Every structure is written in structure tokens, then in C-alpha cells.
A and B are shown apart, each in its own frame.
Chain A
Amino acid sequence: MAPEPPLLSMSGITKSFPGVRALDGVDLDVQAGEVHCLLGQNGAGKSTLIKVLAGAHQPDTGRLRWRGEEVALRSPIAAMRLGIATIYQELDLVEHLSVAENVHLGHEPTTAGFVVRGKAARQSTAALLRRLGHPEIDPARLVGELPAAQQQIVSMARALSHDVRLIVMDEPSAALDPDEVDNLFRIVGDLTAEGVAVVYISHRLEEIRRIGDRVTVLKDGRAVAVGLPAKSTPTREVVALMTGRNVEYVFPERPTAPAQGEEPLLEVQGLTRQGEFEPLDLVIHPGEIVGLAGLVGSGRSEILETVYGARKPTAGHVSVNGRPLKPGSVRAAVRAGIGLAPEERKAQALLMLESVTRNVSVSSMSRFSRAGWIDRRAELGAARAATRELSLRPDNPSVPIRTLSGGNQQKAVLARWLLRGCRVLLLDEPTRGVDVGARAELYAVVRRLADEGLAVLLVSSEVPEVLGLADRVLVLREGRVVHRAPARELDEHRVLDLVMEGSPAT
């Protein structure tokens, strides 16, 4: 037991959004002067948790103690007053204001309460920038003119311009070069030496090894490990916690005779996007599920969206049934029979104000219409048939889609492509925000669709999901395929090693 209470302790924090339980009873405690790392896949609840810490979200239940006293962070201002500063991943700077104006935004030094003392602001900003090791940044310059790395420093200077005791950094190294990362770590070291606590979020395990004291791992809105020693916990154990082996996966059986000899349904040749992924060749036959395994930033989603035409390739092409598609055209892809269940379901797939029926029918309206006139009875009937086929609940396509759970919303997206008669299904993180029980059902649906002759390309950051569902697996690291193998011949440890170490393809 520490003699002093922790600087911050959160217990049993829950937060739900319509259709998703983002936080499901999270505990976290942070000591003064430590670097506490927060790990987790996208969608694990990290962003929601730090927004609760920043006072931007109010938790549904749970308690928050600050230096032993129970507090409520009702607004970002309340959090700031306690001494909690947050540096978000998307920098929240005002581009058209100067560095000094950004640093002092909301607490400008003033004369008589309202006349901003510009010189004083610039001087104190310059002092902060010196402390951060960047005296070359001119406080009078516009933030929009600075490179991303320097904007990061400005963001940090803003945090330090308050009397800060806890700084939350959301992937601060993502936009930085290696030597800039060194500088960042030096700053973090200085801060903790002064007794400031840092909550550090990153996907890069090697960084956590270097500066972290303790690690908390989030998965599906729960803290699956709290306060592990950052330096001595084996990497493999941390990654396994992140990717969630604690969850019991139930996968459908693969067909005994894998689809071979038939004409390929989807062919990808030399597909490239400069700076995102290197030339990719890929063939999928009817009935096959091919998985792309890789960490965030490995190019998985970019590949899927380029195949779909939502991003324009720098080189290479995609063919369906031997016919090449017009590159960079979603409509060409859809017409050829490709369907995409995108990563961000709400932002990229769903019409949240509309009913399930309309969400399902949106890609095949011409089937229920004559001269543009919609036969709503036929539409409802077809939507009902498609959603029943997938056992979507509730069994009533007239309800608004926003009332559905994440898993059922995903089924509605699949029903959309089913109704369209699509032949190639691209699934990007199909079980994100889907609870464990509903996952098995989704897996079964995907396998059944493949058995019926679809070609499926699956992307998931959960290695067991890729290994359990796919027939063949491509392992990606930094936009490059480092290994190809049938899923049976791989295990999770091997894939994790490949994903992290990037040993060349055999």
C-alpha cells in the first residue's frame, strides 16, 4: 500500500452510446510522477476513457477520486482546474491564431480583465517552448504554418501553461520523427521528475518499454489488466491481452474441400498506393475467406478501401470475374458485385436517422422501383427477407437503425449487400463494437455466405478472428505483405511475431 492515495483513481467507470457500450466498468489508478501507459486496439475504449478524464464525456456510472477526494468532472474546464490537461491525437489548435494565442487560449494574460497583453503572452510562451526544447518556434507565428511535429509541441506548451498535475497524451508520437520522439521522451522524463503524472497512449510497444512505468490494457471497454509493470511484462503477453485471447471465440467449421480449381472471383494485381501500401497481388476464389492480419497503420483498411474504389490506386488494378474495374470508382465496384462493410460503421455505412429497411435497400433501390417510383411493399418484403436470412434482431425492419445493437447494425450492413446480390464482400473490422455473443453469430453468417459462393476479404486487428474465420491469411506490416499461409498453418504467436518483428516472408 502506498502511504499516499493515488493522484487519480477511477473505479467502475461505464459509458454507453446508442448501440455500443464503450466503457464497461473500467478501473484505473495513476500515481504522481509515473508514466502510466494505456494500451488497446481501436475501439477498445481508450478515447472514451480519456474524454471522461478530460471532462468531455460524463460517465454513466463509476467513481472518480482525485488525491483521495471524490470529484465529478462536469466539463473540460472543471478538469483543467484540477490540473488535468489532455493532448488529443487530432490536435485541437486554432490554425489561424498565433502560437502564443493558442497556448493562452481561454486564459490570456490581461490588463483590466479584458485587454490581452500580447507581449506577456509571447514571453511566457517562449519560456514554455524553451523548456520543451524548441526555442526555435516563434510565438508570433500562425499555428497553421507550422509542421505537424511543432504543432504537437505547441499543444504540449498549452497543456503546461496551466498548473498541471496530470497530462494525458493520446498517441503523441504518431506524427513524429525518431529524433523528435527522443525529445518527447526527454520532456516526459522532465515532467515526471517534477511529480507530474503522465497517461500515455500508444500503439508502439517499444515506446512503452522505454518510458512507461505501468501499463493498463483495455479491451472491449474493460480493463483486462491493470497496472502491469511496463518494463518486465513480456511483449507477447501484452499483445495477447490487447488482441483478446481471454474471449472465447466460436468459429464455424471450414468446408472440408477448399475451393480450388474454380475461376478466381476477385483478382488484385500490383495494387499500390504510394505511402500507404506496396504492390499487392491477391486472388480469391468463390467460397474463400481471405484474412489480412496486421496492426493499426499496417495498411489493412487502406487496401480494402482501394479494392473498393473508395481510394484511387497509384498503380495496379482489380478484376471481378476476370473483368478489370475502373480504378477509383466505388460505383464500378458496386456494379461489379463488390460490397464493403467499412471500419467506421456509423460514419461510413449507416443512415442513422433512417429505418433498417431504408438502410438495407439503399444500394439496390432500382430493384424496387419503376421509373424511379419505389414499390415500398416490395422493398419492405425484400428487406425483411434479407434481415431474416441473417437473423437480425428485432425481427422488424421498420424500426430506426439507431435503436439496434452494434452486432445487428453490422448485420444490416451485410443485408444491404446480400440484397444487392453482391459476389465479393470486403469486411473491415466486422466485429468492432459487437459483443461477444453476437460475434459467433456474425462469424457463422460470414462463413455461410462464403459457402454460398461469395469471396470474402476480411480485415481484423484481432488475430484469433482472422485465424479462426479465414481460409488463407496475409500478414501485413507497414504496408507490405510479410507472410502468406493457410490459416491452419499459423498460430497466434507466429502471427504476432510476424506483425511486430516483420521477419521476411518465407
Chain B
Amino acid sequence: MTQHVSPPRGSADKVPSVSESSAWRGMFARADVRTLSLLGVLAVLVLIGGITKPDEFLDTRNLQLVLTQASVIGVVTVGMTFVITSGGIDLSVGAIVALASVWATTVATQEYGFAGILFTAVIVGVGCGLVNGLLIAYGAMVPFIATLAMLASARGLALQITDGSTQVVTVNSVLDLGERDAYVLGIPPLVLVFAVVTIIGWLVLNRTTFGRRTVAVGGNAEAARLAGIDVRRQRLYLYLLSGLCCGIAAFLLIILSGSGQNTNGNLYELDAIAAAIIGGTLLSGGRGTITGSVLGVLIFTTITNIFALNNLQSDVQQIAKGAIIVAAVLVQRRTASTT
């Protein structure tokens, strides 16, 4: 029903006003500053890698490796970005990846071949997300607690299934995806999946009603409710989405490692949250950026790679990651207060 909205009138309508275009540019520029500064950090890291290990770091195989490693955690981070944008948190992503990867690689599942493994990984991920979502949206549980419980249970179940052993994948069609022969124009299939998930995630967050509702729920849940949005259903969908991303990530991890282990996905929740936060997604909700999250993932993966090439231990890596998180948040707070 549109009877109350008359068409724009007056001659001023034809020409967009000056203030409008500059306001657009202003909003665009602000988003750009954030993206550019993340790109700058990434460029500095590449420079450091190139200087310290010129032959090894810039080698094509190494760059392919970095991107492949980024793919698994990257897919998880896309889902996490949606959840955090809605004002929630999902601590169970690493455990869901573990559970999905072992369930999809049991002897029984592997009998169904490629489709069986992919289907099981995705269904287990979505199933865990459904439990999270129902507890949070309709059980009125705090996301932190509900997903913490899922973290514990899913890891426990993963251990029970494997009994601590590594489940080697014998389905060749799955393993082949990790081989160099499967690369498309030099790009590993895993990286292609990551790219597709990223693009879809960006479009959903920025161009669809689903994305708008996510932002509205995170920005002001009460206002969203009074505006007629079904806040609870939206929350349910968001945890389903995060679970789906975990299922896809588990499949990628199976390809990458050729096995399923109950220790898979260890501390993914921290990496994904950290990547989203340094990317510019507000932990309090209401603003999220897929581009930022992906850059955050690339920054972390590149650091890990450079440190490994320089034979630095993982303890030093962890310290560096912590420092970057603090620095990124401090910088963002400053830009937020000046705008």
C-alpha cells in the first residue's frame, strides 16, 4: 500500500544535491580508510616476508599454501562475522569443525564416497548450528553460554567417535582435490571455495534483507522487534549459517589433511573472532564487514607463514597476534570517535 507516498515533486528532484554525493563519498571514504589500512598492514607483512626470506616467501607454492591455509579458517570467519554483527558470538565453531570432520570420515560414511563425506560434514555443521540457534533464540540462553556448552559437547562427541585416532581418508575423489592437478589456473580448489563463500557472504550481508535484518538485530534488537522484524527467527538462522560455514570448513580441512581428527579446528573460535574484530566488525553488533574479516584472516595466516619460514616458534606468533588485535582495536576506536 503506497497511497501515502506521493511521487517526488519539484524540480530539485532531478539533480542529486551536492551534499548527497559528498555524504556518500564520506561514508564510502570511511569504509575505505579501514580497508586500506588493513591492506597496508598486509602489504607491510608481505614486504617483511619478501625481505627476510625472498626466495621462499614469494615462491608460488608458498603463496598457494598461505591461501589454502587461510581458506579453512576464512570460511569459518565469514559465518562468525554474521553472528557477531547480530550482537552474538559463536564459541563452538572449532569444535563443530572437529565433529563434522570426524563424522564425515568414519569408515561407514566413507563408503558413500565423495557425496557422503560432503553431505555429512555439512549436515553435522548445520545440525550443531540448529541446536545453538534454538537454545539462543527460543531458549533465551546467552550466546556465550549456549555455544560454550556446544564447544564442550561437540569436542567430546568427536573424541568418542574417533577414540583419539586419526581417520585416514581413502576416497580418492576427495583427496584429488588437494592435489596440484586439481588447481584451476594455479588456484587450489580450496581457495576457490573460500572465494565463493566470501563473495556470497558479502552479497548476503550488504545486498539482501537477511543482511539488513542481521545488522538491525545487532544494532538495536528492541528497535528491530518494534519495527516488525522477527528477531528470534533471525537469530536462529544466523547460528544455522555459522554451523553451515563450519561444515564447509570441515570438508575443506578433510581435503587439506586427508584425514579427520578430533583435535581439528583447535582454537578456531579465537582466530575467527580475532579476524572479524581486527577487520572492523563491532563486537557489540550493528556493524559488520566481510571484506575486513577476510583481510584479517589473510593477515593472521601471513604472519604464521612468515614466522614459520623464519623458524620462529609458535609462542612468538601468539604474542604477535595478541599485539595486533590490541593495536587494531585501539586504532578503530580512534577512527570511530573522530567520525
Residues of chain A at the chain B interface (Cβ within 8 Å): 308, 310, 330-331, 334-335, 337, 340, 342, 347-355, 358, 362-363, 365-366, 369, 372-374, 376, 381-382, 384-386, 388-389, 394-396, 398-400, 416, 418-421, 449, 452, 454
Contacts and interface: CB of A to CB of B under 8 A. Distances in A.
Contacts of A399: 23
Contacts of A388: 8-9
Given A362-B216, A382-B5, A351 B208 contact: no
B223 A349 contact: yes
B207 A374 contact: yes
6 contacts: A330-B226, A331-B228, A358-B212, A362-B224, A374-B207, A386-B5
B19 interface: yes
A395 B216 CA distance: 23
Q: Looking at A362, A376, A395, which has the most chain B CB atoms within 10 Å of its CB? A: A362
Interface residues of B, number: 37
Contacts of B27: 355, 398, 400
A396 B17 contact: yes
Q: Looking at A396, A399, A400, which has the most chain B CB atoms within 10 Å of its CB? A: A396
Contact of B5 (A348, A355, A385, A394): A385
A183 B117 CA distance: 73
A374 B226 contact: no
Contacts of A418: 4-5
Contact of B23 (A337, A365, A398): A398
Given A349-B227, A352-B220, A421 B208 contact: no
Contacts of B1: 337, 421
B17 A395 contact: yes
Contacts of A400: 27
A330 B5 CA distance: 23
Contacts of B9: 388
Nearest to B229: A362
A394 B220 contact: no
Given A348-B223, A398-B23, A373 B208 contact: yes
A374 B208 CA distance: 5
A398 B20 CA distance: 7
Contacts of A330: 225-226, 228
B226 A349 contact: yes
B19 A350 contact: no
B25 to A, nearest CB: 10
A172 B209 CA distance: 46
A61 B240 CA distance: 51
B220 A389 contact: no
B231 to A, nearest CB: 10
Contact of B286 (A347, A351, A362): A351
Given A349-B226, A449-B4, 11 more contacts: A330-B225, A351-B219, A363-B229, A385-B6, A385-B8, A388-B8, A395-B12, A396-B19, A398-B20, A418-B5, A421-B4
B3 A421 contact: yes
B24 A398 contact: yes
Contact of A389 (B5, B215, B224): B5
Contact of B219 (A331, A353, A396, A421): A353
Contacts of B19: 394, 396
Contact of B223 (A331, A347, A419, A454): A347
B20 A396 contact: yes
Contact of B228 (A334, A352, A354): A334
Given A373-B207, A374-B207, A389-B5, A352 B219 contact: yes
B212 A374 contact: yes
Q: Looking at B8, B219, B224, B228, which has the most chain A CB atoms within 10 Å of its CB? A: B228
B333 to A, nearest CB: 15
B209 A372 contact: yes
Contacts, number: 108
Nearest to B207: A374
A92 to B, nearest CB: 22
Nearest to B220: A351
A439 to B, nearest CB: 21
Ranked nearest first, the 3 interchain pairs of A and B with the lowest CB-CB distance are A421-B1, A334-B228, A351-B219
A8 to B, nearest CB: 32
Contact of B227 (A376, A398, A416, A454): A416
B49 to A, nearest CB: 36
Interface in B2-61: 2-9, 12, 17, 19-20, 23-24, 27
Contacts of B7: 385
Contact of B6 (A331, A335, A349, A389): A389
B220 A350 contact: yes
A182 to B, nearest CB: 38
B230 interface: yes
B125 to A, nearest CB: 22
Contacts of A310: 225-226
Nearest to A421: B1
B210 interface: yes
Contacts of A396: 17, 19-20, 23
Given A334-B228, A419-B5, A347 B23 contact: no
Nearest to A415: B5
B179 interface: no
A308 B5 contact: no
B241 to A, nearest CB: 13
Interface string B191-217: 000000000000000011110110110
Nearest to A342: B226
A369 B213 CA distance: 13
Contacts of A419: 5
A421 B3 CA distance: 7
Contacts of B176: none
Contact of A348 (B215, B226, B286): B226
A78 B143 CA distance: 38
A295 B212 CA distance: 38
B215 A363 contact: no
B209 A365 contact: yes
B287 interface: yes
A353 B287 contact: yes
A172 B1 CA distance: 49
A393 to B, nearest CB: 11
B111 interface: no
A41 B20 CA distance: 38
A354 B24 contact: no
Contacts of A352: 219-220
A335 to B, nearest CB: 8
Contacts of B212: 358, 362, 365, 374
